[in-house]
Structure formats: C-alpha cells, structure tokens
Chain A
Amino acid sequence: MTTLLSPLALQDFAPHDDAASPPLFEARGLTVQAGSLHERPVQVLRDVNLTLRRGQVLGLIGESGAGKSMLGRVIADQLPDGFRVASGSLRFGATDLLALSKRKHRSLLGREIAFIPQEPMMALNPAMTIGAHFREHLRRLGLSAGQGRKAALAALADVRIEAPETVYDQYGFQLSGGMCQRVLIALAFISNPDLVIADEPTASLDVTTQGHIVSLLRALQKRHGTAVLFITHQLRLAAQICDQVAVLYAGEVVEEGPARELFLHARHPYTCALHAAMPNFDGEWRALASPSGQMPGLPEYPMLTGCRFAPRCASAIDACLAEPPVLADCGDARALRCIRPGAVARNAEAENAETNPLSQSKQLAAAPLLKVDNVTKIFRRGGWLSRAPGQTAVSSASFSVAPGEFVGVVGESGSGKSTLGRLIMGLEEPSTGRILLDDKPLGGDEAEWRRRIASIQFVFQDPRAALNPRRSTLQLVTQPLQPGQVSRQQRRAQAEHMLRSTGLPLDTLTKISSQMSGGQRQRVNIARALCNTPRLLIADEITSGLDVSVQAQILNLLLRLRSEFDIALLMISHDLAVVRYLCSRVLVMWKGVIVESGETEAVFSRPQHPYTRELIAALPPEDISKRWAPLAT
C-alpha cells in the first residue's frame, strides 16, 4: 500500500522533489506577539525563518519554553487567546497560510497537513474506540464506512501493528504508549499528507519504543515523500533522522543548517552549551557543563534588549546586549544568529571535573549500608476474594549499596524499577524477602519506620506533584524537622543551609512552588530529602521532566552533594547516559528481574544480557558516523 488515499489531495501544491523546486513549507520573518494594547507586547516568536522541502525532515530543536510548539500552533491556526502573528509570512506550497480563512485553514488539517502529538496516551479519546477515531477521520476525508474500515485496517497494518482487527475495536487506554503512537501515526499518514508535524513524538516513550517509532516515521516519510517537521529536544536524535536542523532559543532561531554539520560543528554558544550539558554514553566520561540560570520566560522577553541568550552566554560582550543580532547566512548552507562567530568553542569549564564517579568505586567501604535480600513484590489484582494471579513487579531482587555509593537502576516502564525504590523506602511491603539497613532487617512498626526515614529519603519524579503548592520553600525544605523540637531560628538556618547546598538563591525561601522554574522546584524537592542528612537517597527519574541544561545542573548538584554529605544514591532512571554519568554501579531490570548488574563501565561497554544490548542499541550514538540501529533496517 504505497498510496492509501492519493485521490484525496485537494490540489497538488508543487512539482515533485527537486532541489531547486520551491519549498513546500516556508516561514519568513515570522513574528508572533502576545499581549493586549495597554501591555507591552511580547514577541513570543521573533523573526523565524524556516524552509522545508518536499521529502525532507526538518528538526526543530530547543528546550521547553523555546517556542517549538508555538510554531506548530501557528501552522494549525490555533494560537492561544491574545497571541497573534505580528509580521512575516508562512507559506505552504502555493498557499499563504496566514491569509486563509478559518474554514479553509481547518480543511487543510488532517488532509494536507497532519500532526503527530506529544502524548500518545492522552491524544486518543477514552470514550471512542480506535476504529471510531478512524471512522470519524475517514468520513471527513470522504470515504464510505466500508471503504473506511478497509483503509483503516490497512493503515494500522502499515504502522506494523500485528493484529489490526483487534486494535481497531480497542480503546486507547487498553494499549501501550508505543501502540497509541502507532495508531496516531497511522491516522496522520492515512490522508497521504504533504506535511507532517511531529511534536516530540517520542518524548513520553521508552528508549526501545522510541527507536521503533522513529524508524517507522522515517520509513513512512520516505515512502510517501512526505515533508516532516520534527520537533524535539534531543540533539542526538535529530542528528540521526533529520536532514536540516534549526535550533530555537527563547523564540528565536539561533542556528540553522544541515543536521550532521550542525551536530558536529556547533557554532552558536547555545548549541555548544546544549552539547556540553548532554551526558554522553560512549567515549570518555566527561564532566557536564551547563549555562547558569534558565531560559527566560515570556514576561522577561521585553527586558532582553540584545541577544536573548547573552545573559547566560560565557562569551558575551557589551555589544551582544546592544541590539538583537540577525540570523546571518554563513555561506555554507548554514545560518547563525551571533555577532561573535568563532569566539565560542566547546571549552566551557566543567564544574567538578575531578569527581568522576566511575573512578571512585574502589574506595568504598566493605560493609553495606543497605542490603536487599531476595525481595519479591507481587501485586494482587481485584478484590480480596479475587483468585486472579497477581502481577510480579519485582522478582527475587538482591543487591547492596555501600555508604556513599551511587548505584543506578535502569529499565523501561513496567520493569519494576520504581517499585524497587518504593519497597526500599517502605512505601510498599515486600511479598517475600528482606531489606536490611546496617545489617538489621527493617520491620514494619513505628520505631523501625523512624529508623528507616532517618537514613533513607525519597525524591519523587514530579516536583510539581510532590511539593505542596500552598507551602513556602522554607516550610517545604524543613518539613522533615519535628515541630516543637527546633526553634524558628534553627529552622530558618537549616533551610538557608539547604538552599545554599542545592544552589538556590536565598529569596526562594518565601516562594511557593508555582513561582519557581522546573529546575528550582526539583532542587527544592532534593533539598527537602536532604534536610535530615539521610545516608541514602532514592531518586526516581528525577531528571526525566527537565531540560538538558537543567538536568546537567541537577546531576552536578548530586555529585557535589556526595562530597559534601557523603550520601549514597539509588538513581532510578530510564536514561543510560544519566546513570553512566553519576553511578559507579548499575542494575539492569527487565520485567521485574535484575538481569544484569556490575560496574557501570563494564556493563555498558560489554553488556552480557540481550536486553541490556537492546537498550544500548536503542540509544542514538554520539558518533553520528555510526548508523543508529533502528534506522539501519
């Protein structure tokens, strides 16, 4: 099935691919403004230039708040209230998208322009079967019910779903994230669109699933000759699958060019900073560096008179603050928005290069702090009378953590790694097996619970959910202190100490969590866990919701805290590179079983278990001359 529904294209926009042909999609000087008349307008997107030719993949890279998704909203004519296009043009083939009526614009969506959303599990209506989604979509495209079902099943088979008939009758919530994304990709490609906009299509998926989805997307794109706008925050992923790449910072394209070139030789200080903040998986361990602070928010834009990156840029000079630089053509098919090209190299000094954890494993004490002895956890299903077999979340796990040791637990969602963390913390009871702290088994009574929380603390994944939104940072970080046992002054002193340790400014003390950035929230979350100086910190995916530069700050913070407090860390993460950066030892979990464990370097360079190998193969390699396994087929 090469062309599913080719007659559906309303009009043929441009002659077929040819380097000299007019671009399929082009943004010129696109500026989006927010703010009403009496406020000072904020330029949410400023002077954005993008070109996408038929059959090409254009990567749009940036951290959250960079305006990546805003561009998608302009294309879909769905700017939020108060936002409008102030100047510039947006062309799709021969059509001027900005001049279209609402109705005409909408009629393009789902036909010539299709979207693949970020959160596949959320993007399917829970009250409609997969089939109902297709029926609705195909009816709009003008197919009869009979034809529609056939086309839908073919499209589902096309996205490598093995049992299309079954999936057709299922609901989104009965499928895994990867399956949902396949369904959505099938929906996007069924009209044989000219342009597909994929907004972080793999951000919420497991690494191996990410590989499948990306390879599928690439295959469909090639077969249909579709142009794809691929929005992502992963530089390495973009380097693998995109032809062209544009880097976005605070609503501006700061650098543009062929994906591989740009990846190998970044020119803009921000692109370089992204590189330096990204933990590497292959090659030598290198310390991460990240620009101080974070990306400015919309209210700060009007204050940024010059280059929007200048306040964080290591090589900024006074001229950088004077006026906004233009995106200048470098002559070699690349463009750069920086007045000091060449002044930057990847020389950002690492904050703590001497604390390479991989070389520290030998100095650890012999007596373990924590010992997990043959622990199994089975979750019962149904009511108390149910005889359904339980689900084994963790199966016969045994390992130990030495004082001051950083141990990583890697695996995909459903591998049982989070349950393992919760068992150690005491949030779940083991079905069988023991957990020993200082060689004494942890029991379930009140005194034992006190002993446990005095030594072990848990940092939850989502600080937004873990921090009470009505409490100030002062209250939050000193929550573990018993009321009545410490004076106000002591409490405040302790809070200030925690803020200094976690690198937060002191004025954070009076703020509530909604007044802080994601990175600051996660620091508060960590500070709270450290308040009573525990000896073991369990961190469950604490950087997965953060941008790379903020992630680098948090990872370096953890390394620094180790030398300051001598804490041990159990780092639960799906990100092998993060674990490699922090941990001297690693456990690989698969379906509740620890399938492989050992020194991080040994496990990752010579993986024994096929699952470990699969996990590693699913990572886009740093060395882009190597073929990434999912795209090799």
Chain B
Amino acid sequence: MSDEAQAPIQPWPTGQISGAGWAHLRAFGYLGLKALRNVLAIALQLFAVSIVIFFILRIIPADPLSMLTPGNATHEDAEQIRHAYGLDRPIYEQYFMWLGAALQGDLGNSIQAREPVTRLILAALPMTIELAFCGLGLGVLLGALLGLTAFWYRGRPVERVGETIASLAQSIPDFLWGISFVLLFGLWLNVLPFIGPIDPSMIVERRSGFLLIDTLLAGRWDAFGDRLLHLVLPATALAMIKVALVMRVLRSSLIEAYQDEYVNAARLRGVGEGAILFRHALRNAAIPTVALIGVQAAQTFGGTLLIESIYSLPGMGNLLITAIRTHDLPLIQGISLTYCAIVLLVNALVDLSYLWLNPRLRRQ
C-alpha cells in the first residue's frame, strides 16, 4: 500500500546473512560468475575468429609456396612441398588440423624462419605488451590529470589551456609524434635514446620477457633505468592521442555528473568540494572514461605497429610486417589470432570493471 509494500529490487538471491562485508562479498561472487561467462564467450568468439582468419588467408591470392620454392624447382618439387605442408588437402581438413594443433599451443611452423610460430610470438609479445601498457597507462594518467585540472578550473583560463593541449595532441597521428620525437629529442637535443628496446651492451637474462621486470629480477638498476629511458619516447608518442581523449571524456562526464542531484545533496550535507569530486562524482563519471580506455587499449595493440617500426623494437608489429612481406601464412594466422585474443580479453576486463564501477548494472 505504501512504499513499504513495494519490495526493493534484490540484485542477488539473498541469503539470511546480511552485514557490512556481505554486500562486497556477494558483489565479488557475482563478478566471478560474470567473469566465468565472459571466459566462455571469449572462447566462442575466438573460435569464430579463427575460422574467419583461416579462410580469408586462404582466399587471398598469395601463394606461400612461391616464396619457399627455389627458382629452378620443378612442378613435382612444388607438389612435394605442398604435400609436406598438408596444403594439398581439402581446406576444411586443413582448418581442423590447424585448429587441433592450435588448441595444444602449436600454431605451426613459420615458413620463413622455420621456427614454431608460438615461439616467435612469445618472444615478441612481451615487448608489445610492455609498450602498449606504458603508452596507455601514461595516456590515461596524464589525460585524467589534465581532465581533472580542466574540470576543477572550469570556466577559467586553465581550462582553455588544457583544451588547447588536447586539440594539439589529438590532431597529430601517433606515428608523426613518434618521428618528431626522434628528430627533436633524439637527434637534435640528443637527450633520449630512440633505437631498440635497451642499450645493446646491457645483457639481462630473459625470464618473463618483459624487460622492465627482467631487469628488476636481475637486480640491474642501471638496466632498468636504461629501459625506462628507451621507453619514454615511444610510450609518449602512443600516449598523445589518449591524453586528449581521456581528458575530454572525463571532463565532460564530470560536468554531467555535477548536474546530478546527489552532488547538490552532498554539498548541502556540508561535504567539501574535494570529497564531492573524488568520492561522489568521479566514480560515476569514470564509467564513460573506462569505456573509452577499453576501446583505446584494444586499439593500442594495433597502434604499436608503426611505433615499433620507427623505434626498431622487436615486437609483434615488426613480426607482423615481416610475416606479411614474406607471405608467411602460419605466422600471419598466429599473430592475427593473438591480436584477437588480446582485444577480446581487454573487452572482457572492461565489462567487468563496469560492474565494479556501476552497481546499477549488477541487478539481473
């Protein structure tokens, strides 16, 4: 009859227990369930993607054999090689052979390097992840700082300065930033290194493949510092566009959040402006920003390609360029699949972070 009669919406099947910690515990249980669902979804999506990749690469008019066979090879020689690689079988059979092996972590052998594709990818992947992670992290950090500053000083000159920086950062593509950094800081000012991942004289035992971690594990502070210096330019080049995007989205969603009544209500309870921004508005405003970061994270892995090329970094991008140049089909397949897996994984993580940020999404 009154409002009490309306049952509150129960987000989760409620047990008898209820207390301070339980809301969080239940939330985590729920997140776990969601995560499991996401993993299953990723597996399905990867399966679909693998079909697409495999068949598209068979359709394009690139014959990997022509790269393998010597110029004076006879037709029989070619057939022999074709048979050796299983390329004479029906295409679906080839696919299942490839899939079966891929499920066991074997993506075949590179035609050019004559090495397992998996090994090549594992060697290159940490380099790219490290670069993308640093570029994205730097972009988000600077973008958030700039966004918060611009918002805090809204309507004042500081905001316009921030806006100008953002426009500039956004209007130049990352590879151009990369090249101009090389010219400016590398060649002209000569303050930062710009070739390779680390000074070639610094030899560190490879453990995880991530140079930042490996140098630390080896206790080589000098190498760690050198690695950081080498990261500055490529990571900054990658970060520039993200700084602008994050700043804009965060500022506008903060402005939107401040129109909400709960901000006013908090103010009327005497909550200070700082607490209103960080405790009340930021968490609600973060949702569109996280969505953006998710999209950007996925793009960054693709975006490292040119940067790796400019800064001579032996990562996935350079590996892919080589593979394409040599029509190395197994390698192209392997790299494509890896890219897809990473993008799907990032998307799943973003989905989960929504649930953490926005309790409203948790009811079902």
Contacts and interface: CB of A to CB of B under 8 A. Distances in A.
A170 B359 CA distance: 10
B154 to A, nearest CB: 11
Contacts of B284: 125-127
B357 to A, nearest CB: 7
Contacts of B1: 208, 590, 611, 614
Nearest to A129: B23
Dominant secondary structure of chain A at its interface with chain B: mixed
Contacts of A131: 20
Nearest to B4: A162
B20 A149 contact: yes
Contacts of A86: none
Contacts of A106: 270, 272
B82 interface: no
B364 A114 contact: no
Interface string A175-197: 11111000010010000000000
Contact of A123 (B262, B271, B272, B283): B262
B31 to A, nearest CB: 16
A175 B264 contact: no
B4 to A, nearest CB: 7
B90 interface: no
Interface residues of A, number: 52
A115 B269 contact: yes
B357 A212 contact: no
A110 to B, nearest CB: 4
A115 B8 CA distance: 25
Contacts of B3: 176-179, 205-206, 209, 212
Nearest to B268: A115
B269 A110 contact: yes
B104 interface: no
B359 A127 contact: yes
B76 interface: no
Nearest to A119: B261
A173 B8 CA distance: 9
Nearest to A122: B261
A409 to B, nearest CB: 18
Given A125-B262, A125-B284, A127-B359, A137 B8 contact: no
B3, B11, B284, B358: which has the most chain A beta carbons within 10 Å?
A: B3
A178 B3 CA distance: 6
Nearest to B263: A125
Contacts of B268: 76, 78, 109-110, 114-115, 117
A175 B261 CA distance: 17
A127 B8 CA distance: 17
B6 A414 contact: yes
Given A169-B19, A169-B23, A179-B8, A127 B358 contact: yes
B73 interface: no
A173 to B, nearest CB: 6
A389 interface: no
Nearest to B8: A174
A176 B280 contact: no
14 contacts: A109-B268, A115-B265, A117-B268, A123-B261, A123-B265, A127-B358, A128-B280, A136-B275, A162-B4, A174-B363, A176-B6, A176-B8, A177-B3, A209-B3
Interface of A: 76, 78, 106-111, 114-115, 117-119, 122-129, 131, 136-137, 140, 149, 162, 165-166, 168-171, 173-179, 184, 187, 205-206, 208-209, 212, 382, 414, 590, 611, 614
Shortest 3 CB-CB contacts between residues of A and residues of B: A178-B3, A109-B270, A110-B270
Given A117-B265, A165-B19, A174-B363, 18 more contacts: A76-B268, A107-B270, A114-B268, A115-B269, A123-B262, A124-B265, A125-B266, A126-B284, A127-B283, A127-B358, A128-B280, A162-B4, A165-B18, A169-B22, A170-B23, A176-B3, A177-B3, A206-B2
